[in-house]
């Protein structure tokens, strides 16, 4: 009997049309439903993945009734030479939802800070595939070797890992502690389609937001910091003026906005750019 369809959301920086087509087909084959695949194509995919994953998991709360389990896949593919074939993949659960992610401190840190995530389970591709072949999967030795050696692990390995975990298989893994963020820099995590700059910290944590009601924000066009007033909501910002508000992302995360315009264009900012520092 085929397993019941499970919705899958995939965040990935392997995002050219060829890669997206292959991943979508493989995930649909394994889960019986067409996945939602969201490309991370900006200059700072780790920062975008961190905020998007936090938002995605928070969107499963405040339901008021029974919910359906969702599988979330996160793939960021740095090739820094530290790992023999790329960063390993880990998994954890948020309520009844399953998340499989590249082992990235930047991606996971907001979940530690704002959702209470304390640890993840890190997998080894060969160990998992060999355990599956010896237990429940019809995989030949040469097929295991092909998937172990491939560069495209988010295509060949991750969907299988997700399917097996969703089915309750005992997948070998090692526990790994997750740390909270350890930087004072506040950066642009996402630039939305209006040009609003979603920052990677709550507004209440920004120096001056609750006190002076203004902040020094870096303007890349002018090459200097400029003072920007703080407001509770976007409608409170005067038309045509910049402001720092509580946005729609994270847990009260801040947004740099220009009412009726694009903060990204006015300040010359893009994903990953430093906006200010908590250290002043």
* 10 token code pair: 């995939």
List, for residues 32-49, the tens digit of each pLDDT value: 999 999 999 889 999 999
Query: Residue 189: inside a domain, yes or no?
Result: yes
Q: What is the CATH number of the domain that holds 153?
A: 3.40.50
Assigned domain for 68 exists: yes
Whether the Cβ atoms of residue 200 and residue 189 lie closer than 8 Å to each other = yes
Is residue 145 assigned to a domain?
yes
Alpha carbon distance 157, 208 (integer Å): 47
| pLDDT, tens only, 110-150 | 999 999 999 999 999 999 999 999 999 999 999 999 999 99
Q: How far is residue 242's CA from residue 226's CA, in Å, rounded to a whole number?
A: 11
Whether residues 113 and 236 fall in one domain: no
pTM greater than 0.85 = yes
Contacts of the segment 113-120: beta carbons below 8 A, 24+ positions apart: 113/180, 113/181, 114/54, 114/250, 114/251, 115/54, 115/57, 115/58, 117/92, 117/178, 118/177, 118/178, 119/92, 119/175, 119/176, 119/177, 119/178, 120/90, 120/91, 120/92, 120/175, 120/176, 120/178
Of 10, 266, 5, 263, nearest in space to 158 by CA: 10
Confidence of residue 82 (pLDDT cuts 50, 70, 90): low
Q: 97 versus 67: which is more confidently predicted?
A: 97
Looking at the fold, whether 83 and 166 belong to one and the same domain comes out as yes
Q: 193: which DSSP letter?
A: T
Looking at the structure of the chain, the number of domains it has is 2
Residues 164 and 39 in one domain: yes
Residues 144 and 215 in one domain: no
> Are 20 and 147 part of one and the same domain?
yes
Side-chain half-sphere exposure of 213, counting CA atoms within 13 A: 5
CB atoms inside a 10 Å sphere around CB 174: 12
Residues 172, 122, single domain; the answer is yes
In a domain, 2, yes or no: no
Q: What span, in angstroms and rounded, lies between the C-alpha atoms of 75 and 167?
A: 21
Q: Tell me: do 125 and 50 sit in the same domain.
A: yes
Domain that holds residue 39: 8-177
Provide, rounded to the nearest whole percent, the portion of the chain with pLDDT above 70: 96
Sign of CA dihedral 5, 11, 15, 17: positive
Q: Which CATH number fits the domain that encloses residue 196? A: 2.40.30.90
Last residue of a domain, one of 177, 212, 243: 177
**Same domain, yes or no, for 116 and 243?**
no
Same domain, 218 and 252: yes
The band of 170, judged by pLDDT with boundaries at 50, 70 and 90, is very high
Domain match, 59 and 192 both: no
**What is the distance between the alpha carbons of residues 217 and 202, in angstroms, rounded to a whole number?**
15
**pLDDT (average), residues 168-180:** 96
Q: Is residue 203 assigned to a domain?
A: yes
- Show which of 115, 144, 177 is a domain's final residue: 177
Q: Which of 137, 156, 177 is the last residue before a domain boundary?
A: 177
Domain presence at residue 1:
no
- Domain annotation covers residue 14: yes
Is there a single domain that holds both residue 200 and residue 86? Answer: no
**Could you give the CA distance from residue 197 to residue 116 in angstroms, rounded to a whole number?**
25
* Mean pLDDT in residue range 64-83: 81
| Residue 80 clears pLDDT 60, i.e. is over it | no
pLDDT in tens, 186-199: 999 999 999 999 99
Pair 162, 204 in one domain: no
Residue 92 lies in a domain: yes
Q: 3-class DSSP state for residue 82?
A: coil
């Amino acid at each position: 009997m085929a397993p019941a369809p499970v919705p899958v959301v995939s965040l990935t920086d392997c995002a050219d049309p060829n890669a997206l087509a292959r991943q979508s087909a493989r995930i649909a084959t394994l889960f019986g439903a067409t996945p939602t695949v969201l490309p991370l194509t900006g200059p700072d995919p780790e920062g975008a993945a961190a905020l998007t994953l936090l938002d995605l998991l928070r969107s499963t709360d405040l339901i008021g009734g029974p919910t359906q389990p969702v599988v979330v896949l996160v793939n960021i593919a740095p090739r820094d030479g530290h790992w023999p074939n790329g960063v390993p993949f880990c998994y954890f659960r948020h309520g009844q939802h399953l998340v499989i992610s590249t082992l990235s401190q930047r991606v996971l840190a907001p979940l530690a800070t704002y959702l209470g995530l304390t640890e993840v389970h890190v997998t080894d591709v060969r160990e998992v595939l060999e355990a599956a072949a010896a237990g429940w999967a019809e995989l030949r030795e040469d097929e295991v070797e092909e998937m172990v050696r491939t560069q495209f692990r988010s295509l060949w390995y991750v969907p299988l890992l997700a399917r097996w975990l969703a089915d309750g298989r005992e997948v070998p893994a090692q526990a790994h502690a997750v740390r909270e963020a350890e930087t004072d820099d506040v950066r642009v995590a996402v630039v939305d389609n209006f040009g609003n700059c979603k920052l990677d910290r709550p507004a209440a944590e920004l120096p001056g937001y609750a006190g002076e009601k203004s902040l020094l924000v870096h303007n890349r066009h002018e090459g200097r910091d400029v003072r920007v007033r703080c407001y509770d909501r976007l409608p409170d910002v005067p038309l045509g003026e910049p402001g720092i508000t509580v946005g729609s992302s994270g847990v009260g995360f801040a947004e740099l906005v220009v009412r009726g315009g694009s903060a990204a264009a006015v300040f010359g900012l893009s994903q990953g750019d430093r906006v200010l520092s908590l250290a002043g």
